Chain A
Amino acid sequence: MSEVSNGASAAGDGGDPLVDVRGLTFGYAATPVVEDVDLRVDRGEYVGIVGPNGSGKSTLLRLVLGLHEADSGTAELLGHPARAFAERERVGYVAQDVTEDEKRMPITVSEVVLMGRFPHAGFGRVTAADRDRARDALETVGIGHLADRRITALSGGQRQRAYIARALAGEAELLVLDEPTVGVDAESVDAFFDLLDGLVADGLTVLLVEHDIGAVIEHASRVVCLNREVYFDGDPVAFAESDALDRAYGTNIRREEGGIRS
């Protein structure tokens, strides 16, 4: 509903979905982790995927990004098969384990953000313009003053912003986030979602996997409730009023019983 109003770029190819997943099934072992999933994300949307632990949310995201090969069905990203890894400078990615502290690699915040420019630079040199863009991105997310810190010296919330800045520096059109608020304190989580709201208002498309259902209902423009299959896909208000949540979260038990019976 809101995608039409979104920016000049929508006029050009607003009809093409950024993410187009059809009949997607994937499993690590015999039993599928995601089964027959359809998901289409259009430009300007803010889609939140929710579901219980082990529901296949992160796996679905990895399939969209081409990190796994689907057993059946198709996953297209930016109009290319996800496994082709084409035009990836248009995709920004914020992973789940950003607060993981074990790796004490010396690298500054500005160096991390500059990585967003690497897919653009290819084998060429990073130019002054690239550095300017990275600096602007840091300012946008409000941590310009931390540019010369080691990334490991930042709090979880600050680190989230650094990774968002990396995506912005790369001029990503689609931002994919996998449980970005794990290990981030409550106050920073609120500020983080406010930041995302602002970016979406500026025309960014967001695909978010998040365990905090309340936050997704409050901020996203569309909710996808997943537990192996899609239980709900639509308006957040309608989702809050539906019984999809109960069905999705209660379904593991029912599934097992069904398995025994059959």
Chain B
Amino acid sequence: MTAAVAAAAASVLLLSAPFDLLSRLVGLWSDGLGWVGEQLGIAMLDYVFMHHAFLVGALIAVMAPLIGTFLVHRQLALIGDALAHTAFAGVAVGLFVNSVLGAGISPYVTAVVVAVIAALAIELIAETTDAYNDVSMAIVLSTGFALGAVLISLNTGGLAVGINQYLFGNLSTVSRENAVLLVVLFAIVALVVTVTYKQLLYVTFDETAARVAGINVPWYNRLMTTLTALVVVGAMQIMGVILVAAMLVVPVAAAAQLARGFREALLASVVLAQIAVVAGITLSFNYNTTAGGTIVLVAVGVYIVAVLAGKVQSRRAGDDLPEREGAEGGAAERGAEPSSGGAGDDVAGAESAD
């Protein structure tokens, strides 16, 4: 734990230099949004915390589906959930350290550290057991959450009060400092994905072919999981631990219904996530509902619309695609033929060739 504290302290120091600049940029965004609100008479833009909420929300709605697209299409959606729960342990560590040592470390910073460690642990388990299995993932998930719960109950004093904001997210607690942290996380995620997009895509599409092509698959798996940890902690501020994984999955699932290509799916998932976040935050403000839950409900609504639209689209496409039927006929034939019969056919084929 001391190592985690040291790392957290180091990252705080690291952030402090460009912090002022980023903080000023967040201030500019806030001023700009306030001006727009004034001009258009949008009451909710009177509040600075709403400026931060929209900034954080917009960034989340880019990076969550960005990473989620790679995860979902490898059937690894559960990783986001597991990491969110370990990030909760990280929050608890931060709160614990702050109350014991009186240090002023942001719990989100300790959450980043703990979630990244958990991410690498998940990869280690996956590499040694040669599979991502849902059992080990469930173990990591519950360990993280249990650790968080225990740490918090250890000094119940003032801690239980603020815990809801981490579990369910909170718009009004997004401080300028937290917004800056999110900008940093966003920059890291966006930069890394831009540079390694091709490798990540290859690994996602076909891990074996990627290895044959000389791509270091375990390395990219570790990178992917680490990025997931960053995204999860970033999104936790307004989504909350429990619902954060939804942002990695729901917009991506919706986009997969509509898009044909991967790039198209990435773009669509970001657009759909933006819709969910902007509508969700607005509704949450106006009806005094919890932000994370509202955003997820809007996202699920978008998903349902996408499924229906996808059905209509494929029916229409099916009408003018005769080849498609041939493909299905072939598949049916294949299914009907028992696999043991195949070997017999081979020998017969060889004999006739003789």
Contacts and interface: CB of A to CB of B under 8 A. Distances in A.
Interface of A: 52-53, 65-67, 85-89, 91, 93, 95, 99, 101, 103-108, 110-112, 115, 118-119, 121, 123, 126, 148-150, 153-158, 170, 176, 183-185, 188, 211-215, 217-218, 240-241, 245, 249
A108 B264 CA distance: 10
A219 B290 CA distance: 67
Given A52-B343, A118-B202, A213-B350, A99 B334 contact: yes
The 4 closest A-B pairs by CB, nearest first: A88-B214, A214-B349, A155-B327, A213-B350
A240 B212 contact: no
Interface stretch (B150-158, B163-171, B191-199, B241-249): B191-199
A121 B259 CA distance: 25
B128 interface: no
A37 B265 CA distance: 46
A86 B215 CA distance: 10
B214 A89 contact: yes
A47 B217 CA distance: 29
A85 B327 contact: no
9 contacts: A52-B343, A95-B208, A104-B256, A148-B261, A183-B330, A213-B347, A214-B346, A217-B353, A240-B353
B342 interface: yes
Contacts of B334: 99, 156, 183
B262 A106 contact: yes
Interface in B162-214: 195-196, 198-199, 201-202, 204-206, 208-209, 211-214
Range, interface on chain B: 35 or more
A155 B214 contact: no
A249 B213 contact: no
A149 B260 contact: yes
Contacts of A88: 212-214
Given A101-B331, A105-B262, A183-B334, A95 B198 contact: no
A215 B345 CA distance: 12
A95 to B, nearest CB: 6
A105 to B, nearest CB: 4
A16 B271 CA distance: 53
Contact of A107 (B198, B261, B324, B346): B261
B346 A108 contact: no
Given A95-B208, A111-B261, A185-B330, A86 B214 contact: yes
B205 A156 contact: no
From B206, B333, B342, residue with most partner A Cβ within 10 Å: B206
A107 B205 contact: yes
A217 B350 contact: yes
Contacts of A107: 205, 261-262, 265
Contacts of B255: 106
Contacts of A153: 321, 324, 327
Given A118-B198, A126-B198, A213 B349 contact: yes
A214 B352 contact: yes
A245 B353 CA distance: 13
A85 B342 CA distance: 34
A155 B329 CA distance: 9
B343 A211 contact: yes
A211 B211 CA distance: 24
A153 B195 CA distance: 30
From B199, B262, B263, B333, residue with most partner A Cβ within 10 Å: B262
A245 B350 contact: yes
B349 A89 contact: no
Contacts of A157: 330
B260 A108 contact: yes
A156 to B, nearest CB: 6
B222 interface: no
A106 B265 contact: yes
B320 interface: no
Given A53-B343, A111-B263, A118-B198, A214 B256 contact: no
Contacts of B353: 213-214, 217-218, 240
B319 interface: no
B354 to A, nearest CB: 5
B338 interface: no
A225 to B, nearest CB: 11
Nearest to A84: B214
A105 B349 contact: no
B212 A108 contact: no
B278 to A, nearest CB: 24
A42 B326 CA distance: 39
Nearest to B73: A105
A245 to B, nearest CB: 6
Contacts of A155: 323, 326-327, 330
B350 A214 contact: yes
B349 A212 contact: yes
From B196, B209, B255, B342, residue with most partner A Cβ within 10 Å: B209
Contacts of B213: 88-89, 91, 93, 115, 118-119, 170
Given A105-B205, A155-B326, A211-B342, 8 more contacts: A85-B211, A87-B214, A89-B213, A105-B73, A105-B204, A105-B256, A119-B215, A212-B346
A217 to B, nearest CB: 5
Contacts of A112: 205
Contacts of B205: 105, 107, 112, 115
Contacts of A156: 327, 330-331, 334
Contacts of A245: 350
Interface in B308-354: 321, 323-324, 326-327, 330-331, 333-334, 342-343, 346-347, 349-350, 352-354
